[in-house]
Amino acid sequence: MEHSIKTILIYFKFLLKELISPLNYFMAFLIGVVINYFQGIGIFSSLVPFFVPIIVQSISKASVKFGNRNLNLLVRLPMEKKDPAFVINTNGDIVASEGKTKDIFSKNNIKNFQDIFENQQVKIIKSLIKESCITNEHTSEEWYSPRVKKWYSINMKADNYSDNILVWLDDISLRKKLDERLNKVRNFSTQMMLSIDEQLKLTDSYDRLAQFVLEQGYKGVFITNKEKNGNLKGFVYKLMNGKIIKSNDIIIPKDSEAPIWKSRRSLGIVTDNIKKYSDPEVFYQNNRFDPRVLEFFDFKAENFINYHEEDISVITFNKHSEITQQDLTLMEGIVNSAFTINYLVNIINNCK
């Protein structure tokens, strides 16, 4: 019953909008004048030809819009999306854009498809447009936009009825950034493997790994090994004036509530941020950092990521920007690299 009443009210909203539309009254005026004129009477002799069109037009238009209301909502989708969706002609000129897309183009002075991807050669852009027109099939590319400073997946589809091309762009900047950072992790792991002999000479094979982590935008990192008695033992690292500073060894008891244990106890990666709490003290109550770790830092812990693999546990502190899902994925890759390197070093040492 409630749904039916709501539906009726929605219809009356459409009807009211049509009843106050000036265009309907203008059309009714023309129709009334024409009917009275051809009846051979004064154009204002009868008011019926003026009123009936108003009612008929309002009801018919309201009914059509009411019936298509869901479809109209779907049509509004490109206007509401943060990622651009627009129409270009065969020369690349933008002939139609609305909503947020129009705002982006206006802000960045974009009038042609080439303006978005100015780092691409004009010849390549024209070839892409031509291919879309000829094949009349979905075309997709991945390009960087210097003007908007984002990576986009470019999607195109030609329209037979208008001789124009529908274009929609998907922002893939985060994925590209993640790919780049994962490549750094892979390259780092490869370099560490190639220099395994040098790793054997280091007092701690995690020194390079710690420096790599800190270079990814973290202010501190604590890397530990699980000992036979169940405690965690390791070193805290921080950057100072571009140089890595390493603490004395720190042992975290197995019954400690320190956050570096959270990943093991929850069986997965753990992250937390002081910005999530209205009261900062609640953050510190939920995350009882070891005093020796905090004393080594010259800053307060405000966010962290904790992950482990086998005997290795790593916790990073105070990423300079917001922690994203990509950071968590990267952390998993870093810890996996740490475990692999440590495992190989131990095997070689045991074989000596």
67-109: per-residue pLDDT in tens?
665 555 545 555 557 788 888 888 888 888 888 888 888 898 9
Terminal CA-CA length for the chain:
82
Residue 139: predicted pLDDT: 61
Would you state the CATH architecture of domain 176-351?
Answer: 2-Layer Sandwich (3.30)
CA distance 27 to 336: 73
Residue of 277, 332, 337, 343 whose CA lies nearest to 308: 332
273-308: per-residue pLDDT in tens?
999 899 989 999 999 999 999 899 888 899 999 999
Q: Is 77 exposed, middle or buried (0-12, 13-18, 19+ CB in 10 A)?
A: exposed
112-128: per-residue pLDDT in tens?
888 888 867 666 777 77
The more confident residue out of 97 and 315 is: 315
DSSP annotation of 4? H
Kindly give the pairing relationship between strand 270-273 and strand 164-171: unpaired
Q: What is the three-state SS of 87-111?
A: EECCCCEEEECCHHHHHHHHHCCCC
221-230: per-residue pLDDT in tens?
999 888 889 9
CA distance 124 to 205: 48
Domain boundaries, given as residue ranges, for the chain: 2-75, 78-171, 176-351
Count CB atoms within 10 A of the CB of residue 68: 12
Please give the torsion angle defined by the CA atoms of residues 126, 129, 131 and 132, in that order, rounded to the nearest 10 degrees: 180
**What average pLDDT does range 319-337 have in this prediction?**
82
CATH for 78-171 is 3.30.450.20
Least confidently predicted of 25-34, 163-172, 191-200, 335-344: 191-200
CA distance 130 to 126: 6
Amino acid at 255: D
- Encoded tokens for 6: 């709501």
CA distance 328 to 318: 14
Residue of 231, 8, 232, 111 whose CA lies nearest to 222: 232
Helix ranges restricted to H, the chain: 2-19, 22-38, 48-67, 69-75, 77-80, 99-107, 113-116, 122-135, 173-194, 196-201, 207-214, 262-266, 280-286, 291-296, 325-351
Distance of CA 110 to the CA centre of its chain: 22
What is the pTM assigned to this prediction?
0.57
Is residue 130 predicted with pLDDT exceeding 80? no
6-17: per-residue pLDDT in tens?
667 766 676 777
CA distance 240 to 271: 25
Residue of 130, 129, 173 whose CA lies nearest to 148: 173
Residue 134: phi and psi, rounded to 5, are -75, -50
